[in-house]
């Protein structure tokens, strides 16, 4: 079964057609077709709520809230056991967008798509999509171009930089000083700052904040814990700090996440 441009199995609540791509907010409140199907255009889906079991030629896998899915033009798949309600943000690229920006499927690697930066960027796109003012189109266009032109350079990252990133991710609920990391790896603090920005396109502090946001998002979506408790669990200095960081990085307040 072929789905034409801007057509999805769920109910499209909102859609906006930009020059080279379209954005759709799709809701699932009742069972839809579980037939194998494909889409006319390449698209990315951010799972805002719910999820399902997805089948592709390489097997079945569970899709849950917060995951990012990439679909090549004409790629066969089917969706089963959808959790209700579910909600997806779909960004569908027209061929001229891919050609104009010299993009091909190789740009949509797992490391490029399924990571913290992509997740936060897509939440920003969703925020702009909901805002929908005169500046939103330009802001979304810039965000997508920056996002999709990222390159996977993991094979070139020094081992110690990879280990440094692992420590930060393992101790995500702590504040780790630059001096402590410098002592651990026996390098100068300036070297750490320089290399981290070079390979991860953000400062060490930015990355630490992004991890805390990611963990907090999971708790906001999957639990009923009060925001003040989540801010403490995730290592924010207090609730107001968490609110400030959320607003700066994704454009949403913590309490708005629960009503996406």
pLDDT band at 167 (very low <50, low <70, confident <90, very high): very high
Cα angle for residues 7, 251, 230 (degrees, 5° grid)? 105
Distance between CA atoms of residues 131 and 233, nearest Å: 31
148's enclosing H/E stretch is helix 136-148
For residue 135, the 8-state DSSP code is T
Of 26-35, 154-163, 181-190, the least confident: 154-163
- Inform me whether the pLDDT recorded for 8 exceeds 80: yes
Provide the pLDDT for residue 103: 63
CA neighbours closer than 13 Å in the CB half-sphere of residue 152 = 12
pLDDT: which is higher, 56 or 154: 56
- Inform me whether the pLDDT recorded for 108 exceeds 70: no
* Non-local CB neighbours of 250 within 8 Å, separated by 6+ positions: 120, 123, 124, 127, 213
% of the chain surpassing 90 pLDDT: 58
pLDDT: which is higher, 110 or 39: 39
For residue 41, the 8-state DSSP code is S
Distance between CA atoms of residues 207 and 203, nearest Å: 6
SS3 29: coil
46's enclosing H/E stretch is strand 42-56
Residue 131, Cα to own-chain centre: how many angstroms? 19
User: Using an 8 Å Cβ cutoff, are 134 and 169 in contact?
Assistant: no
Instruction: Output the CA–CA distances (angstroms, integers) from residue 5 to 15, 41, 42, 103, 197, in the order listed.
Output: 12, 6, 10, 19, 38
Instruction: Report pLDDT digits (tens) over 189-245.
Output: 999 999 998 888 888 989 999 999 999 998 998 899 999 999 999 989 899 999 999
Of 34-43, 115-124, 218-227, the least confident: 115-124
Provide the pLDDT for residue 59: 93
- Region 48-71 average pLDDT: 92
- Inform me whether the pLDDT recorded for 249 exceeds 80: yes
Provide the pLDDT for residue 116: 85
Tokens of 166: 């692992």
- Inform me whether the pLDDT recorded for 155 exceeds 90: no
- Inform me whether the pLDDT recorded for 99 exceeds 80: no
User: Using an 8 Å Cβ cutoff, are 86 and 50 in contact?
Assistant: yes
User: Using an 8 Å Cβ cutoff, are 181 and 164 in contact?
Assistant: yes
């Amino acid at each position: 079964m072929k789905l034409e441009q801007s057509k999805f199995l769920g109910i499209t609540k909102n859609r906006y057609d930009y020059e080279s791509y379209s954005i759709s907010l799709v809701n699932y409140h009742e069972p839809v077709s579980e037939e194998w199907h494909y889409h006319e255009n390449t698209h990315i889906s951010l799972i805002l709520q719910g999820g399902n079991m997805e089948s592709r030629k390489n097997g079945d896998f569970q899709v849950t809230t917060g995951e990012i899915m990439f679909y090549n033009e004409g790629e066969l798949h089917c969706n089963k056991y959808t959790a209700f309600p579910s909600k997806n943000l779909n960004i569908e690229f027209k061929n001229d967008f891919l050609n104009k920006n010299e993009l091909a499927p190789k740009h949509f690697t797992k490391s490029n798509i399924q990571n913290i930066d992509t997740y936060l960027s897509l939440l920003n796109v969703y925020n702009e999509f909901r805002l929908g003012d005169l500046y939103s189109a330009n802001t979304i266009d810039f965000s997508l171009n920056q996002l999709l032109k990222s390159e996977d350079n993991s094979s070139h990252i020094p081992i110690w930089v990879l280990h440094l990133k692992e420590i930060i991710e393992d101790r995500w609920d702590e504040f780790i000083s630059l001096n402590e990391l410098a002592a651990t790896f026996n390098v100068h603090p300036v070297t750490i700052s320089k290399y981290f920005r070079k390979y991860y396109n953000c400062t060490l502090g930015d990355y630490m904040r992004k991890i805390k946001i990611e963990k907090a998002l999971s708790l906001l979506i999957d639990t009923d814990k009060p925001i003040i408790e989540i801010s403490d669990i995730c290592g924010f200095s207090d609730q107001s700090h968490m609110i400030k960081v959320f607003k700066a990085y994704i454009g949403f307040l913590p309490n708005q996440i629960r009503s996406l």
